């Protein structure tokens, strides 16, 4: 199994600790650093932006919108981005940014990185001078000479403090700008926009109806299954109540999905649905700004999850896993909340695009060399599930411009929705390689020492590496309901329940119109 | 089935529409109304306040906290002020018994002021009409000028007074909304200790080995992860893992299937709602001590219980009597800040920020609400008996009732890890407290036996429905009971028989092999 290049960042620890040592040194022009920060006055480039996978198409926030009031705000966390690798692979990164239609500013990153490296060198030079002065003062000295050294030491100290502050700011700035660089891309991914996505597989064919069909909204109303009207009063548009058999169908879908996926060795979970916004960011979503998909809680730094991927990514945050514990395979059930800001123009009819829904989500944490294998396992599980339910669908290898920043490769499944008369996305499976783990700080320690010289590793422990993370929809309930209701409707207005779900809804085989 | 008195408000429609007619009248001292509003300067009395039923004990917000004093109410409760005035003593005693800080004197004073001002407005309108009438005839030009002047003055005064009247009505709403529902005559008067035991089932299991609490069992059996959730979300959040996930699903599926057999319609609900709905159900969505999470930049909040979207589903509607009762069982996630619960029993799953719950809700005719209250508590008792829990049902004393409840039955189950009983459910009859706020009425099928002058087009007048709510299954507290009561000496936990078919036949949660 070959592993593709995608390292975006290395574990270069930020040596903040060295800043605390305080000695003396020689005057230094404070103005030197001014040029480094003139960039601050330009409109800020957008940070990482990503639409939720089963949601609106990947969109970039226009550069002039993200003047996110947070310009001066210090980042609360740092991604372990491998700037050296980016610099050494400048052309590949540039092409990748272009292919993915990203507005990441590589030149700015490289310039800031060079400035940062230079400033770091300058800081080190001053430290050395300061040390020299300190060393000189240890000997016996004329009082005038001692005074001169004291004075020089004082100047050096002041300059160093100032430069070190500048260095911290420059590193923050670099983080801000560099976080918008997308993950690298699997070499097999088709380059281009949505139309370029390659069909990986196609299952079934559209059902032919010999009667006038209804869409799921009409079926939901006629069968007393879905109530959008009351929800509009109580909550707002794009909220809904499920009623009667629809409630049982949701439970059956989730129970059946869980039982199927657990058979493949996935551990079931339920997750918090309120999380700190930093976790949302670390997973590659943008919790703030006008166009955000994320609901924030008033008066806290918490938000509602748009997908269980977020609390799943967070569960092993800032930890070093044993290689023997990998892979970790989870299937989580959660409710998901999305503002759907800016989705006014998109297909918004009925259950297709809603503010709150139930979803079962798969998540894998594995060694880098295994992520491609698990990506195929995930898409296979999805295809098996939807095949069992008798859906007509196709699997797409999504083209570069359709990938969110964290994805190295993404397979979407689109199923036939007769009411819409077209295919609609029902699931998405992404290999995020180390994009998320470098932000979430999820590493593992290989069991076997690396085949490197004896000078590497401390206490004979092999160095830690970043894990790869993958996520995939197992069952996004409302979209499944669109498919099931519309595809399994009968001439008499009833809807047949697919065979695998029946044992999970008390043996119900048919949803019939209620007697009033 | 006897129906107890509890009418808090009648459908006296607020005659805002009359304000729009604009004619002329006579000068009127503007200063008259000043006295009416001096109250505005005093610390505002708290509005309706209610802790979520399966949550912290009923608490009142200190009077000094409700800051948004000058905000116009976005909605009005149909409070029957006339009834309150005519039953002043009963209302006063009720407020005292329920340990409420509602200010009845202020309500009555504002109501009198409002009536007086309304009379004054009507008097001025009449004068204005008289002036207008006079001007229709042939008049000397000096007389006409005098009348024009007088009409102008009257008009100006009326505009001012009408504005004052609107403000006074708003003020009255604010202050009156804190008056709690009346109380069922059988409810014991007093604090928590006065609550009467209605029923007791089973006895505490005796263990012949050192027991673990659910937190320890959850850790040992790899079922609950609080530590990761604390990093990702904050304290009092959790992940369920492995069999705990299946147990949650089994509990909900089994509960739904049992309650549906009693004719309850299953629902899932929105978990983000407009904050006005939260208020109308009798919860306080704002303020320092609120239990409610608000969404940033909107007027929406997260629900603390499915009771809220259930109350809202028929808001502002007139139901057919033949459609009643409406009986629902809803599954939702619930979100609570648990502000101020630091001192309470906060260990493990007992008090958490997010949990799954199946909630029953009934909308019925006033004469049926007592019957359905007993049906609800019976369903709860049957469910918990089937699961083999040791519990008691309490008729909660007056001081323990939230503002909307006319009567409340709590069930407390034995939790061996705590070594005490803990609340696992709550069933409240809210009579017309919520329906008067949510605007849920019904039209009786048969005309009332009143004279022919009532009712328009022979339709009987609408009446407010009664609403009831009751916990069917609050998952985390059920887990506390099940894990702690069904633990075995070897560290495993037995699954109660009724749940097994709903979790793939699993009979036992065993320690995992590492």
In angstroms, the CA B481 to CA B483 distance is 6
Would you name the residues of A annotated as active-site residues?
A: 338, 353, 425, 428, 479
* DSSP output for B260-271: HTTTPEEEE--S
Query: Is ipTM over 0.90?
Result: no
Angle formed by the axes of helices B104-134 and B141-176, nearest 10°: 160
Alpha carbon of A159: minimum distance to chain B alpha carbons (Å): 39
DSSP state of B347: S
Residue A89 is predicted with a pLDDT of 96
> B352 CB near a chain A CB, below 8 Å?
no
**Model pLDDT, residue A137:** 81
**A3 CA to chain B: closest CA distance, Å?**
30
Q: What is the per-residue pLDDT for B512? A: 80
Catalytic residue (choose from B336, B365, B407, B441) = B336
The answer to whether B277 contacts A234, with C-beta atoms less than 8 Å apart, is: yes
A273 touches chain B (CB under 8 A): yes
pLDDT of residue A19: 34
Assign A187 a pLDDT band (cuts: 50, 70, 90).
Answer: very high
A483 in helix, strand or coil?
A: helix
What distance in Å separates the CA atoms of residue A334 and residue A310, rounded to the nearest whole number?
Answer: 11
Using CB atoms, which residue from B249, B277, B331 is nearest to A255? B249
* Residue A364 β-bridge partners: A329, A470
Can you tell me the mean pLDDT for A86-101?
A: 96
| Cβ contact A270–B248 (<8 Å) | yes
Buried/exposed code over A204-227 (b: 16+ C-beta within 10 A; e: otherwise): eeeeeeeeeebbbbbbbeebbbbb
Subunit contact B234:A274, Cβ cutoff 8 A: yes
Phi, psi of A477, rounded to the nearest 5 degrees: -55, -50
Task: Give yes or no for A68 touching B (CB within 8 A).
Answer: no
Output the CA–CA distances (angstroms, integers) from residue A285 to A364, A431, B240, in the order listed. Answer: 18, 16, 24
Confidence tier at B150 by pLDDT (50, 70, 90): confident
DSSP secondary structure letters along B291-326: --PBBTTSSEEE-SSTHHHHHHTTTTEEEEGGGPPE
Polymer length in residues for chain A? 516
Q: For residue A421, how many C-alpha atoms fall within 13 Å in the half-sphere facing its CB?
A: 3
pLDDT of A33 strictly over 90 = no
Kindly indicate the confidence band of residue B30, based on its pLDDT and cuts at 50, 70 and 90. very low
* pLDDT given at position B273: 98
A17-26, A197-206, B115-124, B197-206: least confident range: A17-26
CB B300 within 8 A of CB A235: yes
For residue A462, give every residue at least 6 positions away whose Cβ sits within 8 Å of its Cβ, in sequence order, or none: A445, A446, A447, A448, A449, A450
How distant is the Cα of A208 from the closest Cα of chain B, in angstroms?
A: 32
Give me A455's structure tokens: 């000078």
What's the whole-number mean pLDDT along residues B197-204? 95
Q: Are strands B300-302 and B391-395 parallel, antiparallel or unpaired?
A: unpaired
pLDDT(A23) > 80? no
Q: Is some CB atom of chain B closer than 8 A to the CB atom of A355?
A: yes
Higher pLDDT, A507 or B22: A507
- Please say whether the beta carbons of A399 and A385 come within 8 A: no
**CA atoms of B379 and B259, how far apart (whole Å):** 7
A46 pLDDT tier (thresholds 50, 70, 90): very low
Q: Is the peptide bond before B325 cis (omega within 30 degrees of 0)?
A: yes
pLDDT recorded at residue B339: 77
The residue in chain A having the minimum alpha-carbon distance to the alpha carbon of residue B285 is A298
Q: What is the mean pLDDT of residues B123-143?
A: 85
State the pairing for strand pair B196-201/B391-395.
antiparallel
Residue A52 has pLDDT above 90, yes or no: no
Select from A388, A343, A422 the least CA-distant residue to A499.
A388
Place of tokens 């996930």: B245
pLDDT at A59: 41
Cβ proximity of A298 and B302 under 8 Å: no
Band of pLDDT at residue A4, cut at 50, 70 and 90: very low
pLDDT in tens, B232-290: 999 999 999 999 999 999 999 999 999 999 999 999 999 999 999 999 999 988 877 78
Cα B206 from chain centre: 39
Length of chain B: 514
Please give the mean pLDDT across all residues of chain A.
85
Q: Which SS3 state, helix, strand or coil, does residue A474 take? A: strand
How many angstroms separate the CA of residue B284 from the nearest CA in chain A?
Answer: 15
Q: Do A243 and B231 touch (CB under 8 A)?
A: no
pLDDT, residue A73, reads: 64
Which region holds residue B506: left if phi is over 0, alpha if psi is between -120 and 50, else beta? beta
> Is B477 marked active-site?
yes
Q: Which residue of A has its CA nearest to B332?
A: A335
Percentage of residues in chain A with pLDDT exceeding 70?
82
What local confidence, expressed as pLDDT, does residue A434 receive? Answer: 96
Beta-carbon contacts of B15 under 8 Å, excluding residues fewer than 6 positions away, are: none
CA distance A451 to A460: 12
Q: Of the candidates B473, B496, B509, which has an alpha carbon nearest to the alpha carbon of residue B212?
A: B509
* B110 touches A: beta carbon within 8 Å: no
| pLDDT on residue B87 | 96
In the A/B pair of chains, how many CB contacts fall below 8 A? 156
B 184-243 residues with CB < 8 A to A = 225, 228-229, 231-234, 237-242
Tell me the mean pLDDT in the region B175-199.
Answer: 94
Per the structure block, which two tokens stand in for A227? 């109530």
Q: Is the pLDDT of residue A303 over 50?
A: yes
Mean pLDDT of A193-210: 93
Residue B34 sits at the vertex; the CA angle it makes with B33 and B39, to the nearest 5 degrees, is: 110
**Residue tagged 């998901």 (tokens):** A336
What is the torsion angle, in degrees rounded to the nearest 10, for the CA atoms of residue A281, residue A283, residue A284 and residue A290? -40
Lowest-confidence range among A191-205, B71-85, B303-317?
B71-85
Q: What gap in Å lies between CA A383 and CA A201, rounded to an integer?
A: 9
C-beta atoms of B239 and A271 within 8 A: yes
Q: Which range among A35-49, B65-79, B315-329 has the greatest average pLDDT?
A: B315-329
CB contacts, 8 Å: A337 with chain B: 271-272
What pLDDT digit, counting tens, does each position of A339-377 carry?
Answer: 987 666 555 679 999 999 999 999 999 999 999 999 999
d(CA B460, CA B449): 9
The pLDDT of residue B19: 33
pLDDT for the residue numbered B37: 40
pLDDT value of residue A309: 98
Computed from CA positions of residues B300, B303, B309, B315, in that sequence, does the dihedral angle turn out positive or negative?
negative
pLDDT band at A494; cut points 50, 70, 90: very high
- Has B286 been annotated as catalytic? no
With a cut of 60, say whether residue B94 has pLDDT above it.
yes
pTM of this structure:
0.85
pLDDT of residue B81: 95
Regarding predicted confidence, which is higher, A514 or B425?
B425
Q: CA-nearest residue of chain A to B269? A: A241
Instruction: Give the tens place of pLDDT for each residue, B328-366.
Output: 999 999 999 987 666 555 679 999 999 999 999 999 999
Helix/strand/coil (H/E/C) assignment for every residue in B105-160: HHHHHHHHHHHHHHHHHHHHHHHHHHHHHHCCCCCCHHHHHHHHHHHHHHHHHHHH
Flag whether pLDDT at A5 surpasses 60: no
Top-confidence residue, A165 or A20: A165
Least confidently predicted of A55-69, A298-312, B443-457, B460-474: A55-69
pLDDT band at B29 (very low <50, low <70, confident <90, very high): very low
Please name the member of B234, B270, B356 whose beta carbon is closest to the beta carbon of A239: B270
Check if B359 is active-site.
Answer: no
Sort out which chain A residues have CB atoms less than 8 A from B294's CB and list them. Answer: 297-299
Residue A285: per-residue pLDDT: 92
B89 CB-near residues (< 8 Å, 6+ apart): none
The yes-or-no verdict on residue B437 having pLDDT over 80 is yes
Share of chain B above pLDDT 90, in %: 71
Give B442's strand partners. Answer: B319, B463
- Are residues A273 and B333, on separate chains, in Cβ contact within 8 Å? yes
Which pLDDT score, from 0 to 100, does residue B422 have? 95
Q: Which of A76, A225, A235 best probes binding to B when mutated, by most B CB atoms within 10 angstroms? A: A235
Rounded Cα gap, residues A56 and A210, in angstroms: 33
Residue A238 has pLDDT above 50, yes or no: yes
pLDDT at B456 over 60: no
3-state secondary structure (DSSP) of residue A423: strand
Q: Which residues of A touch B354 (CB under 8 A)?
A: 272-274
Q: Does A508 touch chain B (CB under 8 A)?
A: no
């Amino acid at each position: 199994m070959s592993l593709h290049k995608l390292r975006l960042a290395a574990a270069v620890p930020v040596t903040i600790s060295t800043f605390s040592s305080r000695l003396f040194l020689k005057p230094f022009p404070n103005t030197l650093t001014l040029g480094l920060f003139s960039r601050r006055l330009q409109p800020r480039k957008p940070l990482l932006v990503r639409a939720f996978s089963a949601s609106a198409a990947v969109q970039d926030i226009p550069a002039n919108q993200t003047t996110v009031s947070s310009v001066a705000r210090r980042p609360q966390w740092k991604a372990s981005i491998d700037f050296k690798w980016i610099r050494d692979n400048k052309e590949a990164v540039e092409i990748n940014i272009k292919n993915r239609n990203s507005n990441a500013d590589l030149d700015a990153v490289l310039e800031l990185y060079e400035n940062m490296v230079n400033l770091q060198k300058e800081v080190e030079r001053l430290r050395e001078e300061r040390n020299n002065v300190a060393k000189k003062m240890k000997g016996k000295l004329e009082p005038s000479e001692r005074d001169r050294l004291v004075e020089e030491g004082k100047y050096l100290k002041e300059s160093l403090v100032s430069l070190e502050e500048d260095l911290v700011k420059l590193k923050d700035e670099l983080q801000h700008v560099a976080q918008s660089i997308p993950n690298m891309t699997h070499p097999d991914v088709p380059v281009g926009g949505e139309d370029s996505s390659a069909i990986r597989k196609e299952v079934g064919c559209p059902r032919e109806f010999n009667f006038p069909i209804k869409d799921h909204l009409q079926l939901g109303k006629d069968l007393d299954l879905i109530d959008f009207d009351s929800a509009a009063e109580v909550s707002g548009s794009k909220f809904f109540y499920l009623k009667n058999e629809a409630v049982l169908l949701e439970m059956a879908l989730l129970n059946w999905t869980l039982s199927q996926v657990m058979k493949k060795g996935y551990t079931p979970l339920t997750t918090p649905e309120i999380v700190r916004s930093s976790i949302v960011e670390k997973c590659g979503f943008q919790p703030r700004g006008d166009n955000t998909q994320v609901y924030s809680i008033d008066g806290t730094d918490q938000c509602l999850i748009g997908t269980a991927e977020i609390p799943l990514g967070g569960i092993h945050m800032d930890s070093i896993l044993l290689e023997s514990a990998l892979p970790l395979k989870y299937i989580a059930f959660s409710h998901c909340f999305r503002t759907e800001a800016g989705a006014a123009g998109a297909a918004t009819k009925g259950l297709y695009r809603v503010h709150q829904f139930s979803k079962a989500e798969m998540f894998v944490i594995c060694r880098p060399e295994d992520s491609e294998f698990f990506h195929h396992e995930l898409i296979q599980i999805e295809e098996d599930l939807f095949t069992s339910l008798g859906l007509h669908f196709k699997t797409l290898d999504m083209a570069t411009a359709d990938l969110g920043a964290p994805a190295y490769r993404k397979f979407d499944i689109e199923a036939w929705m007769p009411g819409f008369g077209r295919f609609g996305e029902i699931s998405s499976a992404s290999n995020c390689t180390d994009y998320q783990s470098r932000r979430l700080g999820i590493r593992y320690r290989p069991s076997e020492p690396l085949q490197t010289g004896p000078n590497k590793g401390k206490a004979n422990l092999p160095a830690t590496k970043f894990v790869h993370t993958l996520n995939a929809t197992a069952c996004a309930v409302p979209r499944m309901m669109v498919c099931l209701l519309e595809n399994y409707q009968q001439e008499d207005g009833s809807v047949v329940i697919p065979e695998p779900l029946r044992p999970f809804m008390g043996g119900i085989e048919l949803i019939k119109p209620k007697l009033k």
